[in-house]
């Protein structure tokens, strides 16, 4: 069975919220989340730069393919029933540069975004 293992920063509030949101969605493939700096991540994926996986999202498929950063985010969307079409559109040559810029902006400001979203939620 095809699955995705998503290495995420478990100390990042925004990352944890996105994880919970993804798990609440209907998905086409099995999703497994592992803290990027955990012993489990290091044991299962020794070939990865685990410091880098804390800075940018990494997704590993059940076949061992590794996606990083914007492509990893698109793989996450691809796994979700409601967002697969969006992932395919954003992956086109015309829209991929836009997706990369948007994801880079969110990634570089994720701690500030987590603070803002916590204020909105409370």
Q: How sure is the predictor about 115, in pLDDT bands with cuts at 50, 70 and 90?
A: low
For the stretch 20-59, pLDDT in tens is 999 999 999 999 999 999 999 999 999 999 888 888 899 9
The CA distance from 93 to 104, in Å, is: 17
- pLDDT higher at 24 or 98: 24
Question: What number is the average pLDDT over the span 51-78?
Answer: 93
Measured in whole angstroms, how far is the alpha carbon of residue 84 from the centre of its chain? 14
Question: What number is the average pLDDT over the span 59-70?
Answer: 95
Tokens 């944890």 found at: 16
Question: What number is the average pLDDT over the span 71-76?
Answer: 94
DSSP 14-82: HHHHHHHHHHHS-BSSEEEEEETTSHHHHHH-TTS-HHHHHHS-EEEETT--EEEHHHHHHHHHHHBGG
Q: How sure is the predictor about 119, in pLDDT bands with cuts at 50, 70 and 90?
A: very low
The CA distance from 2 to 32, in Å, is: 11
């Amino acid at each position: 069975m095809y699955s995705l293992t998503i290495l995420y920063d478990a100390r990042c509030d925004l990352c944890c919220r996105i994880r919970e949101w993804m798990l609440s969605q209907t998905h086409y493939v099995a999703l497994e989340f592992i803290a990027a700096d955990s012993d489990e991540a290091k044991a299962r994926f020794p070939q990865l730069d685990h410091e880098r996986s804390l800075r940018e999202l990494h997704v590993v498929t059940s076949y061992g393919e590794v996606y990083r950063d914007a492509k990893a985010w698109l793989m996450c969307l691809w796994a979700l029933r409601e967002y697969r079409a969006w992932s395919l559109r954003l992956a086109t040559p015309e829209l991929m540069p836009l997706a990369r810029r948007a994801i880079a902006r969110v990634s570089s400001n994720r701690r500030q975004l987590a603070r803002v979203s916590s204020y909105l939620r409370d």
